[in-house]
């Protein structure tokens, strides 16, 4: 495995590439060479610049952290797959191409769907997993992510705001403040930013989400890895009931729901989430 400088600065971590499954995948790596590697899988329409720097840097203090772009996202090559299962195959291949034999996963939203699939398809690869703002296959309301999101995406365009201001956070004063702070953090990196996600990639990922929401439930009761489920108690994109459902169905899973928080609950409560995540990973 390659040796890296102990860089825990998200603003300067270089974008790198790895060949896997016939695709060139973009990724960034932070942290030391020692410790269980952490792999971060992000949401619908998210490139590398959509990972919360506070969470990434906090995790990278004492372990290597890899943030990945999916196929056809950012500067990764290929065409977005139309199923979560295919995205998981890509991700498993990427992790193995990076030379990582055992990893911890944090999957947020779309990335949480992928993380579940990896837990089922390649359990030998995963030590512990955190599933955030996400839900199971066939989960309540997941097939309606598009209809729920498009009006708020349009609202973002009309009001000159990033749509995540409306999609990820509640409309309370605390929610609006957290949204403003989070979006400012995402702009902290000014050099070597990732390529914007194309409309075609966005729509193809949405088809995969819709298919995930409509497919039969998976045998989550067969998962034998420690899992932490986290989210907001007012999630309108992947309804919060899905977090509770995941925690019920995965043996021994722990559930944390943050109050007055939406889809981006882990970003609103990034300090509390980071503390909880590190304690869970160290247990």
pLDDT at 4: 44
- pTM metric for this prediction: 0.95
Place of tokens 């990582």: 100
Ordered by start, the domain boundaries in the chain are 15-282
Tell me the CATH number for domain 15-282.
3.40.50.1820
pLDDT at 8: 72
Q: What is the DSSP letter of 31?
A: B
pLDDT tens digits for range 176-203: 999 999 999 999 999 999 999 999 999 9
In which residue ranges of the chain is pLDDT below 50?
1-5
Range 38-72 burial, b when 16+ CB lie within 10 A, else e: bbbbbbbbbbbbbbbbbbbbbbbebbbbbbbbbbb
Q: What is the DSSP letter of 214?
A: H
pLDDT at 76: 98
Contact between 42 and 67 under an 8 Å Cβ cutoff? The reply is yes
Which residues are CB-contacts of 60 (< 8 A; sequence separation ≥ 6)?
7, 8, 30, 31, 38
For 173, other C-beta atoms within 10 Å of its C-beta total 9
Residue 28, φ and ψ in degrees, nearest 5: -130, 145
Question: How far from each other are the two terminal CA atoms of the chain, in whole angstroms?
Answer: 26
Could you list the beta-strand ranges (E) of the chain.
15-20, 23-30, 38-41, 65-68, 103-108, 126-132, 227-232, 254-258
> How far is 72 from 80, CA to CA, in rounded Å?
5
């Amino acid at each position: 495995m390659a040796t890296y400088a102990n860089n825990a600065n998200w603003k300067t971590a270089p974008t790198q590439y790895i060949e896997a499954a016939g695709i060139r995948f973009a990724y960034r790596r932070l942290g030391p060479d020692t410790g269980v590697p952490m792999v971060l899988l992000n949401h619908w329409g998210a490139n590398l610049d959509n990972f919360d720097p506070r969470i990434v840097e906090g995790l990278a203090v004492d372990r290597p952290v890899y943030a990945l772009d999916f196929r056809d996202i950012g500067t990764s090559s290929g065409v977005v797959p139309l199923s979560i299962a295919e995205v998981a195959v890509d991700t498993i291949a990427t992790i193995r191409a990076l030379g990582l034999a055992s990893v911890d996963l944090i999957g947020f939203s779309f990335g949480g769907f992928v993380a579940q699939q990896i837990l089922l398809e390649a359990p030998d690869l995963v030590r512990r997993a955190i599933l955030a703002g996400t839900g199971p296959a066939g989960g309540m309301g997941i097939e309606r992510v598009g209809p729920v999101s498009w009006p708020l995406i349009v609202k973002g365009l009309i009001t000159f705001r990033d749509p995540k201001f409306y999609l990820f956070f509640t409309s309370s004063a605390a929610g609006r403040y957290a949204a403003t702070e989070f979006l400012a953090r995402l702009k902290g990196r000014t050099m070597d930013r990732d390529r914007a996600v194309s409309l075609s990639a966005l729509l193809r990922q949405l088809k995969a989400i819709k298919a995930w929401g409509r497919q039969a439930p998976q045998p989550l009761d067969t998962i034998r890895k420690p899992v932490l489920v986290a989210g907001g108690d007012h999630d309108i994109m992947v309804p919060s009931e899905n977090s509770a459902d995941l925690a019920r169905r995965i043996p021994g899973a722990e559930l944390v729901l943050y109050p007055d928080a939406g889809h981006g609950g882990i970003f609103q409560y990034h300090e509390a989430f980071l503390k909880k995540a590190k304690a869970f990973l160290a247990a």
